[in-house]
Amino acid sequence: MRDYTEFPDLSELYLEDSSVLDAHEEPGSLSFKVDAVLTPENLRYSPKPGE
């Protein structure tokens, strides 16, 4: 099994502290709504004061 960090599309996320809020299945696809923790490499990353 491969670690999620090996997938380029997930490289700017830290999934260990993220949460899946919803999952939706359709024929041929599966999508997730996620409350994701971003890494500093992500353009939307904004640390809280003191972090």
What is residue 19's predicted lDDT score, i.e. its pLDDT?
96
Q: How far apart are CA 42 and CA 31, in angstroms?
A: 21
Q: Give the whole-angstrom CA distance, residue 13 versus residue 37.
A: 6
Least Cα distance to 10 among 35, 47, 30, 39 occurs for 39
Q: What local confidence, expressed as pLDDT, does residue 24 receive?
A: 97
Q: What is the pLDDT of residue 50?
A: 80
Give the per-residue pLDDT at 23: 97
Task: For the chain, 51 residues long, give each residue's pLDDT as a single digit of tens.
Answer: 889 889 999 999 999 999 999 999 999 999 999 999 999 999 999 988 887
> What pLDDT does 34 receive?
94
